[in-house]
Structure 1
Amino acid sequence: MMEFHRLARALQGMRLAFAGHSVRSFSCSRPPPRAPGRRPACAPRARARRRGAARGFTLPELLAVIILIGVLAAVASPSFINAMRDRRVNRAAMEISGVYRLARYRALGRGTAVLVRWTDATGVFEVREALVQDVGGSLIANSCANVDWTSPATTAQVTRLNTAGVELAEVELRDPSGADGTVQPQADVCFTARGRTFVRYNTGAAFVPLVGALRVNVTNTNTTLLRRVFIPPNGVARLAL
């Protein structure tokens, strides 16, 4: 009998010990056991709302978004294309300005004449450098006037820029005469080692000092965007936006 009482007390102690442990919480889909009359932790409507929030888009919603994207793309497409073409025209004008600046800096740095030849028929700006001549052991830098600019024996090509391939870009060179200048189909601008600038509009004519600002107009024939490159008498070309 005493053994039975000791066993009963041991079982009661084990039950009290386990009663203090925390009980694992259950999800809304499997509610824990509850006492009679106690309100459920998650109501059926809450579970339904959670399941509804986890759903994706419906087919009509996706079609509406696709149609809206198509309409916006169709409206913005012409403006985007024109902006890209204007950007190409801007880049062409910047490159033309860079050609004249390069020629001037090269003439000053190397101590010899450097020529920029524009030909409207080909749309090409060509930069040629006069070679330094060795005469009796003395190095003589040629000036603009005493060089045959078509001969590879006395000149060397530095670089060339072809503007004919730029889409919708119309390039024209205008001399300083008059208010708007006169379009010239050909022009040679020559920079000397002393920083002087000479010009001629005919390969058979003599070079004369540049008086006034010669300019190159680059126009987008579709949007009429105009960019001007000015070459003043000091030879420092600049781009006017």
Structure 2
Amino acid sequence: MKQQKGFTLIELIIVIVVLGILAVTAAPQFINFQSDARESTVKGAQASIQGAMQLVYAKSLIDGSDAAATGTVVTENDTIDIIYGYPAAEAASATTGGIAAAAGLGTDWASSATGATPNVISFTPGATVNATCAVVYTEATDASTPASVTVDTSGC
């Protein structure tokens, strides 16, 4: 009698079922593209805000308005409100703008500003504000304390 080597049909079905169960439970852990995309978007906005902040500060140094508590700096496209040479923590308006206008953050970013001193504004991707998936810009408090940018991606 000839000896056959290989799997039986039942063994093959069991292996396929086990692999299917593993794929269903493990795949969402490894393929989480949506949150990675939101996190990358927030980090990109952070870089944009930091770049705009430095450009506006350089322009205010040239204009000699870096020590003033308030003022404006005219860029190529916008008039930016400044606080001690850095962009003000405000969203863009029809006539002037703060950090939102300087960084070019459009209507696809939701913003939430506080009226506290120093003024703080946070930007989140999408239509609603999410404090755990946001870029937070804090304006300068005086001529020796620069503006700062932080990012929280824990809830993205």
TM-score bracket, shorter-length normalisation: 0.5 to 0.7
> In the alignment, which residue of structure 2 is the partner of 1:102?
51
Which of 72, 91, 116 does residue 22 from structure 2 map onto? 72
1:213 aligned residue (120, 138, 141): 120
Residues 1:204 and 2:95 aligned together:
yes
* 3-state SS of paired residue (1:99): helix
Q: Write out per-residue CA displacement over residues 32-52 of structure 1, whole angstroms, 9 at most, x where no aligned residue.
A: xxxxxxxxxxxxxxxxxxxx8
Residues 126-141 of structure 1: matches in 2 within 5 Å? Answer: 141=63
Tell whether the 8 Å contact from 2:53 to 2:86 is kept in structure 1 after alignment: no
* Separation of aligned partners in 1, 2:7 and 2:151: 53
1:112 has 2:18 as partner = no
Q: CA RMSD in A?
A: 4.1
Give the percent of matched residue pairs that are identical in Structure 1 and Structure 2. 19
Q: Structure 1 residues 218 and 200 mapped into 2: Cα distance closer, same or farther (>3 Å)?
A: closer
Query: How far, CA to CA, are the matches of 1:197 and 1:220 in structure 2?
Result: 23
| 1:145 match: secondary structure | strand
Answer whether contact 2:56 2:86 (CA < 8 A) is retained.
no
> Which runs of 4 or more aligned residues in structure 1 lie more than 6 Å from their structure 2 counterparts after TM superposition?
none
Question: What corresponds to 2:39 in structure 1?
Answer: 90
Q: Look up the equivalent residue of 1:230 and give its one-letter code.
A: V
Q: Measure the CA separation in 2 of the matches of 1:220 and 1:145.
A: 29
1:166 aligned residue: none
Count how many residue pairs are aligned between Structure 1 and Structure 2.
120
Distance 1:203 1:211 in 2: 23
User: Normalising to structure 1: TM-score of the pair?
Assistant: 0.37
Change (3 A) 1:226 1:69: same
Is there any run of 5+ residues in structure 2 with no aligned partner, and where?
66-70, 99-116, 141-146
Rg larger for = 1
Calculate the TM-score normalised by the size of structure 2.
0.53
